[in-house]
Amino acid sequence: MTKPRILLIVGGGIAAYKSIELVRLLRKSGMTVRCVITRAGEQFVTPLTLAALSENKVYTNLFDLKDEVEMGHIQLSREADLVVVAPATADLLAKMAAGIADDLATTLLLATDKPVLAAPAMNVRMWLHPATQRNVATLRGDGVTVLDPDEGEMACGEYGPGRLPEPAAIFAAIESRLSNPLASSAVEAPPLPSRVSTSLDTNGSLDHQPDFAPENHRPLFGRRILITAGPTHEPIDPVRYIANRSSGKQGFAIAAAAAEAGAEVLLIAGPVPLPTPPGVIRVDVETAVEMAEEVRQGLPVDAAIMVAAVADWRAADTSAQKIKKDGSGAVPPLALAENPDILAGVARSPDRPPLLIGFAAETNDVIAHAEAKLAKKGCDWIVANDVAADPMGGESNRVHIVSKNGIDSWDRLPKAAVARKLMEKIADELDARSPRHSD
Positions marked catalytic? 156
Beta strands 355-362 and 224-229 are unpaired
The residues facing 234 across adjacent strands are 242
Of 186 and 370, CB closest to ligand CTP? 370
The residues facing 336 across adjacent strands are 315
Give Cα 427 to chain centroid, integer Å: 17
Rounded distance, CA 16 to CA 310, Å? 51
In the bound complex, what is the minimum distance in angstroms from residue 310's beta carbon to ligand CTP?
A: 4
In the bound complex, what is the minimum distance in angstroms from residue 368's beta carbon to ligand CTP?
A: 12
Q: Is 114 exposed, middle or buried (0-12, 13-18, 19+ CB in 10 A)?
A: middle
Of 262 and 358, CB closest to ligand CTP? 358
In the bound complex, what is the minimum distance in angstroms from residue 251's beta carbon to ligand CTP?
A: 9
Of 257 and 310, CB closest to ligand CTP? 310
| H-state helical runs in 55-116 | 65-70, 73-78, 90-98, 104-111
Of 119 and 280, CB closest to ligand CTP? 280
In the bound complex, what is the minimum distance in angstroms from residue 343's beta carbon to ligand CTP?
A: 3
C-beta separation of 307 from 228 below 8 A: yes
Angle at 132 between CA 129 and CA 135, to 5 degrees: 150
The residues facing 361 across adjacent strands are 385
Of 33 and 308, CB closest to ligand CTP? 308
Beta strands 399-403 and 381-386 are antiparallel
Of 107 and 339, CB closest to ligand CTP? 339
Rounded distance, CA 98 to CA 243, Å? 45
Positions touching ligand CTP (CB under 6 A) are: 228, 288, 306, 308, 310, 312, 339, 341-343, 358-360, 373, 377
167-179 vs 415-433: helix axis angle to the nearest 10? 50
Starting at the edge strand found earlier in the chain, the sheet holding 116-120 runs: 58-59, 32-37, 5-10, 82-88, 116-120, 145-146
Of 113 and 341, CB closest to ligand CTP? 341
In the bound complex, what is the minimum distance in angstroms from residue 399's beta carbon to ligand CTP?
A: 12
In the bound complex, what is the minimum distance in angstroms from residue 376's beta carbon to ligand CTP?
A: 7
435: phi then psi, degrees, rounded to nearest 5:
-70, 165
Contacts of 224 (CB under 8 A, 6+ apart): 263, 264, 266, 300, 301, 302
In the bound complex, what is the minimum distance in angstroms from residue 309's beta carbon to ligand CTP?
A: 6
